[in-house]
C-alpha cells in the first residue's frame, strides 16, 4: 500500500504550518515546508532574502527539495502523508514575481502528481509577518490567486479549507481525506 500524497497549500500566513503541526501531534506522517530552511541557509551565507536576490536559484533549491519530498512520501506505509506545499507552489511564486522559469519546472509538476490538494485562503485575522515572511497581506492575496491558477493549470481539484480553529481545520482535512 502506498500512501496518498496530500498537499496543504496556501499563501503566506494562512495557517499551513499550524495544521501540519496539529497533524504531527495526532501522529500523522508529515513533510514540513522547506523554504524557511533554504532561506535560513542563505542567511548563513550572508544573503538576507535569497528569493528576492536570486529567485531562480531559490526556486531551483525548492524544486529539488520538493521533488525529494514527493519521492520520500512514496516510501511511507501509512494511508496518508501530508506535505506542507507542493511542487506547483514553486511555479506559482515565480509567476507571482513575474520571473520566467525553465520548462523543467512544468515537467516536474506533470511528472509528480499529488493525490489531493487542500488550499487555505488568506485570513487577515491570523496573518503575521516574521523574519522569513516579507509579504504583506495584500501580496498574500495575490499569491493565493497564483496558487489557484497554477494548481488548476495542472488539473488539480482543490479542497478549500474553511476558517476556524486549528483543530477544526485539521478535522475538516482528515474528514475529506478519509472520504476520497
Nearest to 180 by CA among 107, 105, 114: 114
Confidence of residue 37 (pLDDT cuts 50, 70, 90): confident
**CA–CA gap between residue 6 and residue 173 (Å, rounded):** 10
pLDDT exceeds cutoff 60 at 31: yes
* Domains of the chain and CATH, by start: 4-174 (3.40.50.300)
DSSP summary character for residue 98 = T
Mean pLDDT, the chain, integer: 90
Average pLDDT over residues 69-75: 93
- Percent helix, strand, coil in the chain, to 5, is 55, 15, 35
Strand partners, 30: 82
Average pLDDT over residues 17-26: 96
pLDDT at 129: 65
Each residue of 73-97: pLDDT tens digit? Answer: 999 989 999 999 999 999 999 999 9
Each residue of 99-123: pLDDT tens digit? Answer: 899 999 999 999 999 999 999 999 8
Buried b (16+ CB within 10 A) or exposed e, 120-149: bbbbeeebeeeebeebeeeebeebbebbbe
pLDDT at 38: 78
pLDDT exceeds cutoff 80 at 62: yes
Q: pTM value? A: 0.90
Amino acid at each position: 500500500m502506498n500512501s496518498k500524497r496530500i498537499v496543504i497549500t496556501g499563501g503566506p500566513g494562512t495557517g499551513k504550518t499550524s495544521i501540519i503541526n496539529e497533524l504531527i501531534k495526532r501522529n500523522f506522517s508529515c513533510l514540513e515546508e522547506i523554504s524557511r530552511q533554504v532561506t535560513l541557509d542563505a542567511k548563513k551565507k550572508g544573503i538576507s532574502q535569497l528569493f528576492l536576490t536570486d529567485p531562480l536559484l531559490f526556486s531551483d533549491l525548492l524544486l529539488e527539495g520538493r521533488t525529494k519530498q514527493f519521492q520520500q512520501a512514496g516510501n511511507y506505509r501509512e494511508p496518508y502523508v501530508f506535505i506542507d506545499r507542493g511542487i506547483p507552489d514553486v511555479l506559482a511564486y515565480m509567476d507571482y514575481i513575474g520571473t520566467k522559469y525553465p520548462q523543467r519546472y512544468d515537467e516536474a509538476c506533470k511528472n509528480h502528481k499529488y493525490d489531493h490538494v487542500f488550499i487555505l485562503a488568506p485570513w487577515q485575522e491570523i496573518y503575521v509577518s516574521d523574519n522569513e515572511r516579507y509579504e504583506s497581506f495584500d501580496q498574500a492575496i495575490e499569491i493565493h490567486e497564483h496558487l489557484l491558477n497554477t494548481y488548476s493549470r495542472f488539473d488539480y481539484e482543490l479542497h478549500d479549507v474553511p476558517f476556524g480553529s486549528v483543530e477544526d481545520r485539521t478535522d475538516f482535512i482528515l474528514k475529506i481525506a478519509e472520504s476520497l
